[in-house]
Structure 1
């Protein structure tokens, strides 16, 4: 039996407008039911859900104030999939090879970026198997009375490119690159810097000119205009509004986007017609049971692929999931984060996917 809290959330969701057109009331009901579970949490703020199935897209929005297709959300680590896509384009352009020793594309001498003669290669930078730390310089432990989001925001805001490369010279690898999973924003930032060097343009410009503009994604960017800022969803953590997160992480997590834009991006990746999209989806690294393409986590339960990436920043959580063998994609954007938000998003996505296609593999 539903709890009183879940019944209240369901009633709220049924009262909110459902945007977009989707074939069949049953599909819309399945999405609303799954969203009700997410919004039942008292900390939930807003939620935008986009689904592509059999070539048809639908958008669904919940919360107070009610978001819409053009509400902007920081997409955090979903940015890394853009970085991976740009790397795929760079290989196809002949600007680099994914198997290159990264030191070929760095200024200065970095003998430390190899372990027993095995160097960090380009593809290691977007698969969390490079051996680089989570951040560069690595963030020290702070006073327990200062919340982690506040410490992280201040640390990132104070970071500089000079400090990043000074710390890169001090990195000590403890295993051959490609053999151990260790989450690294620093590696994705370095990948973005390499892209800037080989193309002679800022990362944001590369995203705009090589991905966003061709796909009709006007609101996917790092630096917001005044009009875009007015459409930015306020982020919440533990019910507390969060200030803007600084942009220094760039290729690792600085992009903002809308549900409309992210559905265009998901549709392009889902089709796998562009050689860069196909290359980005090819498994390049395997560490234990972890398999990844160019910043797409990949699972193949029952022979069917699921490619996914999630992202979190103070105040926001997001997830993008592709089911190429089922012709389906799901995008979820939320302006709330707590210890359980990513798990709730995973439950939401899996609930929608299973309701719409019983053969859709689950996101683990």
Structure 2
């Protein structure tokens, strides 16, 4: 049923305060919903490398949150509503939501040339006198590289190597916004813009810079202010304080039995540095299904990859499934966790799933789990 596509935080592969309360796992009980989600999660945990999972499902005004397994095998430390997760590239759809809001506030136009928001001259950010536009960043059609600094890209080509997370963090340790903007001068656009999808976390980081330019404040302030005021997401942020860090989920890279260090900080974090909790992601799902003006704008088709795949404000949209109808989704991941979000308006259905393991089969396992859950839910006679 579900289209099996996944993209890690930084590479396309085949493949406000701390939360104090430990809320009940079940938010609102519905016998069929809870049984279906629990059954799917238990099957998922039978996979040898999957120690734990957290799932949020919203279906026809009923919601259910489930936490399963152990964050560390043998330690009986089950994840909870207080657990903070790294959501990787799913950060992009949060960034896209901020841009959609800025468009409605008439602070930005997606047809704008991106150099309008850059200090200095960037004649290299064009092709045949065609400039990169904001919408090219939102749809990954800017021809910008996957990552800046460029030295990260060959490291990510060897994602399965045990030392890849350490190498990533070493490169990012001294990397900042100034270096990123300097590196932009070295980029050469190699093809016509807006014609070919080519995944770029660098493009999303640049989007965060543009948001800073129009709002005259730090990206994280823009993010947390909007999420807390408009959606009620009070525990979603880029930077964690000391108390937050105690709740950050431990995680594992491929089949390495040793826990992996948290992901190093990208200059802004918009492309894959946001952390969140399951209750906050449930709030985001419900916000998406309300389809207010910001959501409607963020779901607008900006690029058609083919007859069944569209790109909105960083969202991917699939049109091929007649049963589910048009749905929106995104995968996220870092070297120690992976997640998915699905928004299915036809059925007033949304889901977020995350596990603290990141390997080549992780996304497929999660997609298979959600596929089973969705099929069973749609069979319920309401």
1:209 maps to: 225
- Using the TM superposition, give the Cα deviation of residue 99 of structure 1 relative to its aligned residue in structure 2, in angstroms: 1.3
SS at 1:251 equivalent: coil
* Matching of residues 193-204 of structure 1 within 5 Å: 193-204=209-220
Q: Is the 8 A contact 1:178 1:286 kept in 2?
A: no
How far apart are 1:358 and its partner, in Å?
5.1
Q: Distance in 2 between matches of 1:354 and 1:30?
A: 10
Following TM superposition, by how much is the alpha carbon of 1:165 offset from its aligned partner in structure 2, in angstroms? 1.7
Relative distance call for 1:152 and 1:306 in structure 2 (3 A) is same
CA distance in 1 between counterparts of 2:144 and 2:232 reads 35
Q: 1:197 to 1:357 in 2, by over 3 A?
A: same
Q: RCO greater where, 1 or 2, for CA within 8 Å and sep 6 or more? A: 2
Query: SS at 1:163's partner residue?
Result: helix
Compute the displacement of 1:146 (Å): 6.3
Range with greater deviation from structure 2 (311-320 or 230-239): 230-239
- Give the Å deviation of 1:23: 1.9
Q: Counterpart of 1:347? A: 368
Residue 234 (structure 2) aligns with: 218
Would the alpha carbon gap of residues 95 and 18 (structure 1) be closer, same or farther in structure 2, given more than 3 Å must change?
closer
Distance in 2, matches of 1:114 and 1:318, equals: 34
Q: Tell me, yes or no, if the aligned pair for 1:319 and 1:331 is still in contact at 8 Å.
A: yes
Q: Distance in 2 between matches of 1:146 and 1:35?
A: 27
| 1:13 alignment partner in structure 2 | none
Partner of 2:96: 84
- Structure with more of its chain in helix, by fraction: 1
User: Which of 263, 280, 291 is equivalent to 2:298?
Assistant: 280
Q: Secondary structure at the match of 1:181?
A: coil
Residue aligning to 1:314 = 335
- SS of residue in 2 equivalent to 1:244: coil
- For the aligned residue pairs, the C-alpha RMSD in angstroms reads 2.0
Paired position in structure 2 for 1:9: none
Aligned to 2:145: 133
What is the aligned partner in structure 2 of residue 10 from structure 1?
A: none
CA contact (8 A) 2:25 2:80 kept: no
CA contact (8 A) 1:309 1:321 kept: yes
Q: Distance in 2 between matches of 1:122 and 1:212?
A: 25
Among candidates 59, 68, 73, match of residue 62 of structure 1? 68
Report SS of the residue matched to 2:347.
coil
